[in-house]
Structure 1
Amino acid sequence: MNIELFIATRKEKGYSQKELAQGICTQATLSRLENNGQIPTLKILIQLCNRLELPLGELFPKVGTQNTQLRELLNQGEFYLITSEYESLRTLLEQLDLVEVTQAGLLLQYYYLLGFEMIFRQAPVTDVLFTFDKLLAEEHQHPQEIYQLLGYTGIGLVYLRESDLNKAEYYFNQVLERVYQYPTNTIEEVWKVLNMVFHCGLFYGEQKDYESSDGLFQYVFSLCAKNHVTYYLARAVFQLAQNALQAGQEKSRVLELLQDARAYAKVNDNQRLLKQINAQMQELTSTN
């Protein structure tokens, strides 16, 4: 209860404790409310508030409002992640109060987003791994398997960046063993599963295992289509084009995939990816 607001309103209205309590309760009851937070019966509290013309609801925090606002901000951060707006993600995370995030029970989502943001800004390896260690430790205390798998995905990306392929493969395999069974009942779950499958596809493409990589990107495509999510479509099809190019497929096939990727990127206004696609298409069409 917001006792400070109650007292401030009483003083603003010009009531002494004795005057406000008159005919409703004893002054001692009102004093215990203001000094010790000892709330009288609801009937008395309503009468006091009515005399002050203070809506009762103003004295109590709106249940879940702070949590909802923080969750919406973190979901916005997740949207920045899937649309490759990493600078916006970093700005958003820097503005959050970690104490509030902890109290709201949202540390898992926070560490997951922070770890991926650190990967894409090339933060030191030890710092990134420490962030994912905190994610896994928090997940151990508050089990949510999806965040464990996201942590493994992030660690796999770190080792891939460091060209430690054996370690990277270990973590990506941990993800692939379980990610297909994970439910996608909400849009946020879809985003998380897409994130994992997409980056597993990137890994196997880097290893020139194009069959596995293509299969994963096709799974991304089907997930997007099934759940009416377009943001990963352009990236998935673009990576299929990279696989086709590296595997020595016909130029016409690569260009076809790039044209599809460009169409999806335009729909999503993914300017960063559009620049990559246009540059590659120009390069391919200018060579014999």
Structure 2
Amino acid sequence: MVKNIRHDSFDGKAIRVARKKMHLSQVELAEGITTQATISLVENQNRVPNADVLLAILDRLNLDMSEFVSGDFLTQKAKELLGKVVLQMKHDALSEFADFEKALSQNAPTVQAYYILKAANACYNEKNYDQVIAFANKAVDENTPSLGDFYLFYAYRQMGTSYYFKGDIKTAQEKFETAFSLEPNLISAGDMEFHGALKGRQYYAEFLVEINQLDKAADILLEALEALRKRVDLLWVPDLNELLAKVEQKRGNNSEAQKRIHYAHVAAYLSNRKKTEAHLAELDKVKI
């Protein structure tokens, strides 16, 4: 759904121009959508309509999003959508992306975001890993304006995961390693990049466990947990410690594996992650 469009980013005059080109009165444009008074307020920049009304108006006037919102707004919206999908794993945000898809694809600064979000949509909604790879490749193409190394990192991670699901282990490893080389500094990164990097490490470690590179998996998990300790951040501690416990168990270090489960359990309790805590309580031999 379209939301949070500021008045200074919204061009109601474009709606007036399009309406007159189609020889529609305000009453005719409003019919079945809203009121004539609302159309007047919109055209005079005094009101931004809600999503359903706005999209219905655009459909009637054969307008697309890029014709009435600014490039600055689109860049802000692209980063907002990336934050929701990449970091918060809010896949329902992809329905909001659909409202802006055409505009983002036609606005040079947001083309990379468009490709990353298209890849995410192909993964979450369609399970089409060939499409994920195709869009992610476009996101990292040297001709695509980059929003920064973090987004290159994320696109390579998308490819690594997709090649793995397709069974191409060699290419998956190459893409994961490229992503890892572009990972933001875990200590100095902002919250968005930090948590995105940790999610990437989780995927990478899970891949390394599957191909039996247990020492490397343990190293990247321990480094991530140390960064969490230094940043006084518990969010990822349960997940990464539980994964590290799996690694230690596979390495034959059962006592270390149990210790990691206990750490994960305590962190889930302290961070009030009730479902995770309940799950870990069943595995933890040391009761809180």
* TM-score band, normalised by shorter chain: 0.5 to 0.7
Distance 1:106 1:226, change over 3 A: farther
Name the residue aligned to 2:160. Answer: 156
Bigger share in helix: 1
The alpha-carbon deviation at position 216 of structure 1 amounts to 0.2
Name the residue aligned to 1:190. Answer: 194
| TM-score relative to the length of structure 2 | 0.62
The alpha-carbon deviation at position 269 of structure 1 amounts to 5.1
Q: Within 1, Cα distance between the matches of 2:140 and 2:145?
A: 10
Residue correspondences, number: 226
The alpha-carbon deviation at position 181 of structure 1 amounts to 6.2
Name the residue aligned to 1:74. Answer: 82
Residues 68-102 of structure 1 show CA distances to partners (whole Å, capped at 9, x for unaligned) of 45533432333322xxxxxxx22111122213434
Alignment equivalent of 1:249, drawn from 231, 250, 253: 253
Task: Calculate the aligned-residue CA RMSD, in Å.
Answer: 3.8
Distance 1:58 1:122, change over 3 A: closer
Q: Kindly indicate whether residue 109 of structure 2 is the aligned counterpart of residue 101 of structure 1.
A: no
Further displaced range: 238-247 or 117-126: 117-126
CA contact (8 A) 1:125 1:158 kept: yes
CA contact (8 A) 1:220 1:232 kept: no
The alpha-carbon deviation at position 121 of structure 1 amounts to 6.4
The alpha-carbon deviation at position 133 of structure 1 amounts to 2.6
Name the residue aligned to 1:41. Answer: none
CA contact (8 A) 2:186 2:227 kept: no
* Matches for 1:83-98 after TM superposition, within 5 Å: 89-96=90-97, 97-98=100-101
Name the residue aligned to 1:237. Answer: 241
Residues 45-86 of structure 1 show CA distances to partners (whole Å, capped at 9, x for unaligned) of xxxxxxxxxxx99599899556545533432333322xxxxx
Name the residue aligned to 1:123. Answer: 127
| TM-score relative to the length of structure 1 | 0.62
The alpha-carbon deviation at position 114 of structure 1 amounts to 5.1
Name the residue aligned to 1:277. Answer: 280
Unaligned runs of at least 5 residues, structure 1: 7-55, 82-88
Q: Within 2, Cα distance between the matches of 1:119 and 1:273?
A: 25
The alpha-carbon deviation at position 232 of structure 1 amounts to 2.1
Distance 1:153 1:61, change over 3 A: closer
Q: Within 1, Cα distance between the matches of 2:231 and 2:170?
A: 34
Question: Match of 2:236, as an amino acid?
Answer: Y
* Matches for 1:158-173 after TM superposition, within 5 Å: 158-173=162-177
Name the residue aligned to 1:220. Answer: 224
Determine what percentage of the aligned residue pairs are the same residue: 13
Unaligned runs of at least 5 residues, structure 2: 1-10, 17-43, 48-67
